[in-house]
Amino acid sequence: MSSPTLRRPEMRPRASARIVDRLMRGVLWAIALGFIVVLVIFVGAILRQGWPVLNWGFFTKMPETLDAGGGIKPELFNSIYLVGLSLAISLPTGIGAGIYLAEYAGQGRVLRFFRLCIETLAGTPSIVLALFGMIVFVQTLGWSFSIRAGAMTLALLNIPIITRVTEMSLRGVPQDLKEASYGLGATKLQTILKVLLPYSATGILTGVVLTAGRAFGESAILVFTAGTNVSSHFPDFRLTSPGETLAVHLWYITSDGTLPDAREIAAGTAAAMILVLLCLNLSVRLLDHGIRKRTR
């Protein structure tokens, strides 16, 4: 007689838990679909306005200052060049700092101090970094508005993000893998290089993509450090040359208003930035797929 009374209290929580689980799953699916819809509308609106402007001449012509029909050839080159230089500076520093925080710093005051510094730098507004770059690199060091000043300041923007992503990715490696590596006689450095980094490569690569995308669309820092002009030579790899990027070019032509086709150039520039970011994400996804196939 007592068994039915014992089963009912057990069955009710299970039924309610299933209902709550399905409800939360539906809510999360709705949020994800809503985000996708907003993203598609946003990207579609930009591409619809800028697609008629995109042609081979738009990508291969120099920009115009007064006449219509200018292109974005040097701005596109400067954008990719600056992002590449900033990553060349920030990747070794950020990954090294992430490895130190995850494997060497321990749990004491040193870790808390470094984490506080990184989080403070990550939360610093880009306009503050822009003023810092202008005061230190442009004025104090006398670099003027140049690609090297912009790359160094962009690296300050990238380092805290790469550091945190690297640290969290390394901390997500199962402890069994570490113990197995140590059990086979590997040193700590060998374990980091041959076990931890390959296992966490996907997470680190995702962080690098997000960092590159943020740097690619940055304008405030580069206005104050790289300038709003381009070199008359193409391609110009000199670090001392000015380095107006696509984001700065988009801001400049919409605020200046001297070009007769400023709206069309702005729409085409925005569409080109979206396409470059899509190609960057697609190439990184393909690279990530190749890394996963090799590590299986």
**In this model, does residue 10 exceed pLDDT 70?**
no
Three-state DSSP string of 156-190 = HHHHHHHHHHHHHHHHCCCHHHHHHHHHCCCCHHH
Task: Tell me what the pLDDT averaged over the chain comes to.
Answer: 86
d(CA 143, CA 103): 37
Q: Please report, for residues 123, 156, 163, the alpha-carbon distance to residue 90 in angstroms, rounded to integers and kept in the order given.
A: 17, 7, 9
Secondary structure E strands in 117-241: none
Amino acid (1-letter code) at residue 83: V
Q: Look at residue 1 in the predicted model and tell me its pLDDT.
A: 44
Q: Is 33 exposed, middle or buried (0-12, 13-18, 19+ CB in 10 A)?
A: exposed
Six token digits for residue 75: 């701005």
Q: pLDDT tens digit string along 118-162?
A: 888 888 889 999 999 999 999 999 999 999 999 999 999 999 999
Residues in the chain: 296
**In this model, does residue 2 exceed pLDDT 60?**
no
